[in-house]
Amino acid sequence: MFMYKRWMAPSLMVAALMMAAFGQAQAAESPGLGVPLSDSEVAAVDLVVMPDGRGLPAGSGDAHQGLDVYQRECRICHGDGGQGGPNDRLAGGIGSLATAQPVKTIGSYWPYATTVFDYVRRAMPYHLPGSLSTDEVYAVTAYLLAENGIIERDRVLDAETLPAVQMPNSGGFSWAWPED
């Protein structure tokens, strides 16, 4: 063990010096990767949905339509009805957060329905994020909210109705930014 410590410090010092010298040489040159984006390319990914619904796009969907999307794109990871699979459980757990075994799901934990929409649109499905149409995202959001008993299956969600959905844990978080 003594021999290991004896050569370790000088070796780390040499490695650090080599990395610093290499980094300075690289900083002077650009790797030449990428191309500048056009305004329309930036707009395609510059999508922000606020809790109050600002930024929601046009489109609509209900839980009946969402079931088809869920079965095709989500069930393999999240299980039947969002009850869990290889990835997180999405439904159930309402009222469990203050218990010894809290179950964090869309229904029990998430404070805003608009956040569900925003997350699904940006990050799902896992193997191809951003591939769902706006109507599919509204529909699968409606399905997930209906599976949690938050909305009726026939309720159509769109940019006006989605922000009006009251989530069970809406009072469980505080807004960090002052109101406009």
The pLDDT of residue 22: 67
Domain definitions of the chain by residue range: 54-164
Q: Which two tokens stand for residue 30?
A: 């650009």
Contact present, 140 and 153 (Cβ < 8 Å): no
The pLDDT of residue 161: 98
Is residue 4's pLDDT more than 60? no
User: What pLDDT digit, counting tens, does each position of 89-103 carry?
Assistant: 999 999 999 999 999
154 vs 137: CA distance, rounded Å: 16
The pLDDT of residue 144: 98
Cβ-count burial of 74 within 10 angstroms (0-12 exposed, 13-18 middle, 19+ buried)? buried
158 forms beta bridges with 60
User: What pLDDT digit, counting tens, does each position of 9-65 carry?
Assistant: 666 677 777 777 666 555 557 778 888 888 888 877 778 899 999 999 999 999 999
Is residue 107's pLDDT more than 80? yes
| Cα-trace Rg, the chain | 23
Q: Which fold has domain 54-164?
A: Cytochrome Bc1 Complex; Chain D, domain 2 (1.10.760)
Per mean pLDDT, which range of 12-16, 76-80, 110-114 is the poorest? 12-16
Alpha helices in 30-104 (DSSP H): 39-45, 63-73, 75-78
